[in-house]
Amino acid sequence: MSTHGSERSTLAEVARDPVSRRRFLAVGGASGGIGMLLAACGGSDDSGDTASVSSLPSNDDALAQFGKGDLGIVNYALTLEYLESAFYADVIRSGLFKGADLALIKSIGSNEDAHVAALEGTAKKLGGKPAPQPKAQFPIKDAQQVLKLAATVENLGAAAYLGQAKAIQSPDVLASALAIHSVEGRHASALNTLTDQPFTPDGAFAVPATANEVLAQVKPFIAS
């Protein structure tokens, strides 16, 4: 399952250059990206301790909208995991993949489902409410487009977890976050290889993404 020449060159540029990668995530477009994946996603109207994703501001207080301290970080991560889980469920239903390819997609989707369950449980243990699940609608067009979307999402997810590691106070929450981060990174590496990207796009050391950077990629593509 390899991409065509033009697709490979675009992905290669994104993989080599962190600035290009962030621009790629921001604009989406025909080459795929987080914008395409999250197009038409809607936040919940549920009133509680957490805000719907569509209401998130783009300033330094963006993460606080999910809750305070570790609870906020957990609900931030949970929101991203909800989207990943929904994405893979849609891909499985699409019928685009068969055999070993479908087995890989199902395996990744099962991991994301487990992440959702674990983070929901963690939010409750911290004395809060799990974040509301956004309503997602995905452009599932063809196998190559799906693989590129998946690679983009997994790379962003891994960077998001790494970006929050230093802010987590509870050793137990940190251990859980790093355990999930490791799996997200392995997903990303597998999908990077399938889409002809370097399996470690940032080289020997992964580059973290702040919550504001991640949410800035998501917010423009969420319905009000």
Considering the entire predicted model, what is its pTM?
0.73
- DSSP percent split of the chain into helix, strand, coil, nearest 5: 65, 0, 30
Bridge partners of 42, per DSSP, are 135, 223
Provide mean pLDDT across the span 103-113: 95
Please tell me the distance from the alpha carbon of residue 214 to that of residue 115, in angstroms, as a whole number: 18
Q: How many domains does the chain have?
A: 1
In this structure, what CATH number is given to the domain that contains residue 196?
Answer: 1.20.1260.10
- Cβ pair 44, 134 in contact under 8 A: yes
Single-letter code of the amino acid located at 141: K
Provide mean pLDDT across the span 133-141: 80
Indicate left, alpha or beta for 43 from its phi (over 0: left) and psi (-120 to 50: alpha): beta
Give whichever of 14-18, 115-119, 134-138 has the largest mean pLDDT: 115-119
Q: Is the pLDDT of residue 185 over 90?
A: yes
Dihedral of CA atoms 165, 201, 184, 146 in degrees, nearest 10, equals 140
The domain containing residue 32 runs over which residues? 5-223
Please tell me the distance from the alpha carbon of residue 223 to that of residue 40, in angstroms, as a whole number: 5
| Torsions phi, psi for 22 (to 5 deg) | -65, -35
How many residues comprise the chain?
224
Q: Is the pLDDT of residue 84 over 70?
A: yes
